Amino acid sequence: MLFEFEGKRPSVGSDSYVSETAIVLGDVFIGDRCYIGHGAILRGDYGRILIEDDVVIEEGVIVHAPPGEVCYIKRGTIVGHGAIVHASLLEEEVLVGMGAVLSLRSEVGRGSLIGEGTVVRQRERLGAGGVFIGSPPRRIRDVREEERQYFSWVRELYQSLAKRYIRNPIRPLELEECLRKNDQG
């Protein structure tokens, strides 16, 4: 759901999907062809969240900016399930693995992969094109071409899903509608 806060309201671009179960609050800009998944929380109450085109925010992600600052997520970035993003900047085409934590004012360079469960510390800057894992994160190698192709495939998959959700909105059901009858096993 989209919420206005202190006169600031989210702005959502064309062909973008924001789940009815997501919370997008306050000063949040979402570009075109983005996917904001179920249970995601984007809090633009203290600071501003700026999300460029073709970004995927998967289910359960939390995005927040410190007071008076901007959390800037650039074009083509994918943020995996359950990640926490308090970063200042995610450059273009970054992939943040599931459950990763990007702490206050951290930055991630273009085309990098942040491994699942990795913790990026406050004010830490990770370079472009690398695979980073651990806590603290260490660069283990460069991102491979097949991984870049996979990132593109994931983005396209979620853009396709966004179109499906836009065409066929989810509908809440009452428990009674879902109870199986004894004869149906």
* Predicted TM-score (pTM) of this structure: 0.94
Predicted pLDDT of residue 181: 81
Residue 172 burial (C-beta neighbours within 10 Å; 0-12, 13-18, 19+): exposed
Domains in the chain (CATH in brackets) are 2-184 (2.160.10.10)
pLDDT in tens, 116-175: 999 999 999 999 999 999 999 999 999 999 999 999 999 999 999 999 999 999 999 999
Predicted pLDDT of residue 34: 98
How confident is residue 110, by pLDDT bands cut at 50, 70 and 90? very high
Angle, CA of 58, 148 and 57, to the nearest 5°: 10
What H or E segment, with its residue span, contains residue 175?
Answer: helix 175-178
In the predicted model, what is the mean pLDDT of residues 6-35? Answer: 98
Predicted pLDDT of residue 87: 85
Question: β-pairing, 35-36 with 130-133?
Answer: unpaired
Asked if pLDDT for residue 182 goes beyond 90, the answer is no
Per the prediction, the chain carries an average pLDDT of 96
